[in-house]
Amino acid sequence: MKKIVWITFLCSLAFISCQQDEWADSLQTEAATPTVRLRSDRYENDGAHTRQTTETDAPYDRVEFYVVGEDGAIASGLKGIYNHQNQEIKIEGLKEGEYELLILAIKGNLLDDGATIHPLKQKTDQWISFPSDLQKPLEAEYFYSKTPFSVSREAVAGGHEYIVHLPAEIVQKRIMGRLDLALLYNNDDVRTAATQKTLSFHTGTFYTAFTGDGGYAGQSNGQTDPIELNDQNTYWFMPTTADAQINAEISLTTTHYRGGERQCSYLFGVDAISPNRIEQVYARMEHPDDYQGTMYITRQAYNEGNHAKILQDGESKTIYADPAQRRFNTAHPLQIKVNDAGQLHARFYSPRDLKRVLIKAQVPSVSNEYFDLAYFDSIPAFADFFHEVAISSRNGMYRTESGKLIEIGNLTPAQLAEAQYKIESDDPYWAKIKSIVHGWDIYFSLYGGDPDLPNGGPVGNWMGIRPVHCREVVAMFINFTYMIDMDEHEEILRANEDILYGNGGVDDKVTADQVLSQMRRERTLQVGLVYSGNGVIGLGGGIIFGAYQNAWLAHYNNTYACEIMFHELGHVMGYNHSSAFTYGPWAQQLMNNFYVNNLHKFPIDSPSYLNSRNNPTLYP
């Protein structure tokens, strides 16, 4: 632990606001009526390298002030008001003499601190007090000034007038101090893996009262409740009492990607909390996972990374319609690699999130074993994640599949290019993805259409496919290729083999094994959006596949939409309109009903993941 205090004297304006008392009738006797502007100062040592947690021009929420005479008693017969609009105090009724102007100002709600404002009779009286058992940092900021001034009666032409020798502006300083606690991590994955960070004070007492003449009194009971920390920790306290050093402890609890928790404690001391000053503590969070090379991407870490997504509304057609940039296999929708820049790139063609994902790598020049490269608490739908991995830049410790720990680091792009990857997850969704044995390659095509035009720029029977349709393409083909490997699907084909026939008509019998072989063959489809304005609602054959907009929206639960999809898939499999696979029982009876009736078993088991029907980018 290390404490550093930077000392720099700077000032900036902090304009005041407060409750405004009503003026009583003005005194009609001859007297001085001074006006003074207020502002609050920065902390005395708040230089360019420290955080400014409150705006110096933020208004005051409450202002109290008194004028004190030479005897220390509160001057009587005066009237005063704080003008919020002009940010000024005005005092009426002053006579010749020596005075002090005492001002107490508050930003925030003093009731949150249990604070009590006391009326002053003498300037040595307690003005504000706090409970001795407050046991927590202050919620509000408290400012004070004591300004001597005089009023003289001087001769002027035609008589005399009162001259007030008072600054035009008074600077308020805080009667409390600030503790800034910066937590410094050797491995940022430790920071984002933290589930609890607590600050506890073992010793330290604080003043609990402040007098009108600027003195401190009272003492807290020495108890402070544990404080939950974040990454930018700023706390306000009344000053510590004489010789009351603060001894404190930070408790850190983190999760580990392999399960379980780690708990660490860190001790530090602060000599004193002083009025209007910042005590800066830098806490170096040494941790057992500092040398862990495996990337641990918690949900917090992922969110902080602000990673992009693919196939989102607004993505350029030059990107999503380019197979070099957007293409996937339904059996491998999560694409993993470490690029030449040393970044782990995870791209996920999926309408659903995937939880608890372990990425393993095997690099031939390092080991013949796979080792834990990265762990994600969750990979979002359509994620496009890039983040530097430790193996490309520094040494770190990695666990292999046999349980050994090996040190790896500073691998070259050539070494990384040889890496092989495994993906593991206990998410039931991943189990369904893994059961897709016969994946199809899918990419998207405009077929001459223009999605940037309101009507899709139709060309022939095609129009410009948009990202909202591309996402549904992903959903439908993940479900379809999952379906073709289901036991229930195979059973329904075998049970209805007698109604399967080929291009020669009903006498051209096709076996279930033939159909399964055709459906499970490696295929590549160039998928587009059909323009229904010509009366065409689906197109298919070879690598070409397309359906009109409503079919993409309704494939989950509409047998007619499914019939269109399977009709065109029949063409892809090589069948014509004389077969059972287009205008026949395979498309119109078996597959369309099987898909709808078994949706709850499929990987994408609901239209709610995409909610495409409510998407504003749909064609009208």
pLDDT tens readout for residues 374-390: 999 999 999 999 999 99
- Return the pLDDT at 14: 26
Q: What residues of the chain score a pLDDT lower than 70? A: 1-30, 47-57
Instruction: Specify the pLDDT at position 57.
Output: 62
Sign of CA dihedral 414, 417, 420, 425: positive
496-550 pLDDT tens trace = 999 999 999 999 999 999 999 999 999 999 999 999 999 999 999 999 999 999 9
Burial label, 216 (beta-carbon count in 10 A; 0-12, 13-18, 19+): middle
Say what the pLDDT of residue 26 is.
36
What are the φ and ψ backbone dihedral angles of 360, each rounded to 5 degrees?
Answer: -110, 150
Residues with Cβ within 8 Å of 202's Cβ and at least 6 positions away in sequence, in order, are 247, 248, 249
Which domains does the chain possess? 2-175 (2.60.40), 178-285 (2.60.40), 295-432 (no CATH), 442-614 (no CATH)
How confident is the model at residue 85, as a pLDDT? 72
Side chain identity at 357, as an amino acid letter? V
pLDDT tens per residue, range 430-449:
999 999 999 999 999 999 99
Report CA torsion sign: 487, 492, 495, 500: negative
From the list 264, 270, 262, 269, the residue with the least C-alpha distance to 286 is 264
CA dist 502 and 504 (Å) reads: 5
